[in-house]
Amino acid sequence: MIKNINKFPEDFLWGGAVAANQCEGAWNVDGKGISTADVATAGALNVKREYTDGIIGGKYYPSHEAIDFYNRYKDDIKLFGEMGFKCFRTSIAWTRIFPNGDENYPNEAGLKYYDELFDECLKYGIKPVVTISHYEMPYSLVEKYGAWRDRRLVDFYLNYCNVIFNRYKDKVTHWMTFNEINVITLHPFIPAGIKIKPEENKEEVIYQAAHHQLIASAKAVKLAHEINPDFKVGCMMVYPLAYAETCNPVDVLTTNEFMNRHYFFSDVHVRGHYPNYMKKYFERNNLNIKFEDSDEEILKSGTVDFIGFSYYMTLVVSGNNDGKTLTGGNMTKGIKNPYLKASDWGWQVDPVGFRIALNNLYNRYEIPLFCVENGLGAVDEVEEDGSINDDYRIEYLRQHISEMKKAIIIDGVEMIGYTPWGCIDLISAGTGEMKKRYGFIYVDKDNDGNGTLERRKKKSFYWYKDVIKSNGEIL
Ligand code: BG6
């Protein structure tokens, strides 16, 4: 029997989400090492970022200062408290804890920083939700081992997990192992530090690295449960819902195959084994992925408690892309959907798609879902009186929350919470811009790094406060 729910659950985790490298700054203080995010320069509208070999003079690296959350977190968390956040999703910068990644002992200053940050959240009744690796890792691991292509990374990651699980076991309950783990197949450097050499088989390197991350993730889940049986550990994937361009079965088949490339990651995380379609894919494409004897057992023993995912937009897929206009999307591109409007960055806004996504994921796996990223990247204007009237953002969020409500109440989808992305403006992961804003809180800084970093409440700040206060009744 399912419970007859007609509103959001009482303990629903309303909150907001950020990632360390996109907000903290302070990239080289208190013993922090250089991360893969620290070698990324800024692009411009839809221009991908450049990943340099180390820090090169004369270039602008937005993560180095970001929005200076490292020094201003107390004031920022106070504002989250004012909005009534029940949770706050952030990541731990691996390089604050292990500057090079392969040390035996952690950096105490880094551990202390997150102790204080989590305490500050708890002071306002805000539960920290932690991503263990969000689009960054020690750059030294890239140089020394070629990053996740090397199986030794599993042990370095586990060592890091062991330290943070033990240290924060009384402060954090919800963890996610790798942010948008499935993005590795699209941009291997961003989530996994992988640089492909010209002579290499790109796909083989990517899926080998992905295998190492999946093993690391399963081992981390098992370890987490041993350290604290109350820990809830999730995977985190980008969910790029794709529609077939037409009812031509070839378009539908291509769309299914497109989705399988993404479901592969959640299938392994939730079911604890490789799906047959993927084994066949490796076979068909002559991809030789090395497994160790114990791998099957490891995957089986480390299945996740929930599915964390990001949802921003949807895509259209065809069996034949010739001559078709493609539009932007989160880490990927697709054909333009004539039924949808797009953001200034070309991401196709699709609230009903959100309900479909929730149903697809829940019906496939039947474990709780946690939407840990959703939102509209838009240009905000500060009016003469200092106000920021971001009605477009309110409208985007209102429509998405309303579809989420239907998925819970009408369709029976089980959800833990909802944390809109970039609850305070931060630098874009895709382009490094500041102009692409998601926040309820404005930060005075531009694409070139100029600005006072002053914080300002937007109209959406007050709106979201009422949403949380009414537990989603007032939208
Ligand atoms: C997700 C990432 O892909 O989308 C975030 O997990 C990112 O790190 C967010 O910031 C929005 O993308 P962008 O490119 O607009 O910053």
Ligand 1 geometric centre to CA of 237 (Å)? 12
Average pLDDT of 182-194? Answer: 96
Stated as kind and residue range, the H or E segment containing 266 is helix 249-271
* pLDDT in the model for residue 282: 98
| Sheet strand arrangement including 334-335 | 242-244, 315-317, 334-335, 326-327
> Which residues surround ligand 1 with Cβ inside 6 Å?
19, 22, 135, 179-180, 238, 310, 330-331, 373, 377, 421, 428-430, 436
Q: Please identify which of the residues 180, 204, 245, 403 carries the catalytic annotation.
A: 180
- 468: enclosing H helix or E strand: helix 459-469
Is residue 122 within 8 Å of 109, Cβ to Cβ?
A: no
Cα 415 from Cα 401, distance rounded (Å): 12
Q: Which of 89, 428, 435 to mutate to test the pocket of ligand 1 (most atoms within 8 A of CB)?
A: 428
Q: Residue 22: which pLDDT band, with cuts at 50, 70 and 90? A: very high
Mean pLDDT, residues 320-326: 84
Q: What is the 196 CA–ligand 1 centroid distance (Å)?
A: 23
Does 366 participate in catalysis according to the annotation? no
User: Poorest-confidence range of 36-50, 218-232, 237-251?
Assistant: 36-50
pLDDT at 130: 98
Among residues 120, 136, 204, 373, which one is catalytic?
Answer: 373
pLDDT in tens, 276-305: 999 999 999 999 999 999 999 999 999 999
Count of alpha carbons within 13 angstroms of residue 170, beta-carbon side: 2
Mean pLDDT of the 35-53 span? 86
pLDDT of the residue at 321: 82
Percent of residues, the chain, with pLDDT higher than 70: 98
Task: Write the CB contacts of 58 (distance below 8 Å, at least 6 apart in sequence).
Answer: none
184 with 247: CB under 8 angstroms? no
Please compute the mean of the pLDDT values over residues 1-14 and round it to a whole number.
84
Q: Say what the pLDDT of residue 333 is.
A: 85
| Ligand 1 atom 14 nearest Cα | 430
Q: What is the pLDDT of residue 131?
A: 98
pLDDT digit string, tens, across residues 54-102:
999 989 999 999 999 999 999 999 999 999 999 999 999 999 999 999 9
Does the active-site annotation cover 373?
yes
Per cent of the chain over pLDDT 90 is 93
| pLDDT reading at 3 higher than 70 | no
Instruction: Compute the distance from residue 330 Cα to the ligand 1 centre, in Å.
Output: 7
User: Residue ranges of the alpha helices (H) in 273-350?
Assistant: 276-284, 295-301
Which of 48, 310, 344 gets mutated to test ligand 1 (max ligand atoms within 8 A of its CB)?
A: 310
Tens digit of each residue's pLDDT (9 = 90 or more) over 242-274: 999 999 999 999 999 999 999 999 999 999 999
Which residue from 86, 99, 89 is spatially nearest to 12, judged by alpha carbons?
Answer: 86
Q: What is the DSSP letter of 348?
A: B
Q: What pLDDT does 1 receive?
A: 54
Position 331 pLDDT exceeds 90: no
Q: What is the mean pLDDT of the chain?
A: 96
Q: Give pLDDT, residue 43.
A: 75
44 pLDDT higher than 80: no
> Is residue 186 within 8 Å of 332, Cβ to Cβ?
yes
